[in-house]
Structure formats: C-alpha cells, structure tokens
Amino acid sequence: MKVPKLKKSNCVHCKKHTDHKVSTAKTGGKRGALKRGSIQRAKKRGLGVGCGNLGKYGSKGAQSSWKRYGVKTSKKEDLKLTCKECNKSKLARMPRSKKVTLE
Ligand SMILES: [Zn+2]
C-alpha cells in the first residue's frame, strides 16, 4: 500500500486540519518471552477450564498447538502523523496490507 509522505489531517492540539508528516511508527524494544503481563495472561488461559491448567501452562506453554500462528501474511501497520504546526504526533492504524511504502 502506498501512503503519501504529507497528509492533511485533524490535529487535536491545533483543533483544525493541518499538514501532517507521515512516518511508520517504530516498534519499541522486544519484551521478554515471559514478562509479567504475558505470565499472567498465560496463567489465565489455564484457569476456568476443568481442573488445573490441562497442560496449557508450563515452561514452554501450549499456545502454539491450539492457536493458529503464522497464518496471515499481512500486517496492520501503525503510521505516525506529526503535525507541522505544533510538532505533536498521533498514531493512525492502517488496514491490513503486505507492505506499506511512503512516497
Ligand atoms: Zn497541531
């Protein structure tokens, strides 16, 4: 999908339509495999189903066997729109596409 580098969009801070510079939002540092949030999430998956976690939670986790990973070939990309007047930015989600190119 081709996206223009300059785009008119509403700025919440200026309260009007202004020119925005478009860039792809950088993804931050990668979280560890089992940080607090993911540990709680993995544990919750084992709860509420029968007795114990039915082997759904362990050092490896059984997610891969009952969740379809790697099926989709496209991604929903985030764009960063920076207002040219006040220099503040916001994020805009793009629809599913294989590749986003700025032009
Ligand atoms: Zn602005």
Domain membership of residue 100 as a residue range: 1-26+73-103
How many A from CA of 14 to the centre of ligand 1?
Answer: 4
CA nearest to 79, candidates 66, 64, 95: 95
How many A from CA of 20 to the centre of ligand 1?
Answer: 8
Strand order in the sheet with 75-83: 6-11, 16-24, 75-83, 89-97
The overall average pLDDT reported for the chain is 79
Find the mean pLDDT for residues 58-70: 59
Tell me the helix, strand and coil percentages in the chain, rounded to 5. 15, 35, 50
CB 69 within 8 A of CB 61: no
Place of tokens 């916001």: 90
Domain count of the chain? 1
The per-residue pLDDT for range 6-43, each reduced to its tens digit, is 999 999 999 999 999 999 887 766 666 667 777 777 66
How many A from CA of 83 to the centre of ligand 1?
Answer: 5
44 occurs within a structural domain: no
How many A from CA of 33 to the centre of ligand 1?
Answer: 38
How many A from CA of 21 to the centre of ligand 1?
Answer: 11
How many A from CA of 28 to the centre of ligand 1?
Answer: 24
9 occurs within a structural domain: yes
Q: Which CATH number covers residue 93?
A: 3.10.450.80
- Which pLDDT band, with edges at 50, 70 and 90, does 103 fall under? confident
How many A from CA of 90 to the centre of ligand 1?
Answer: 10
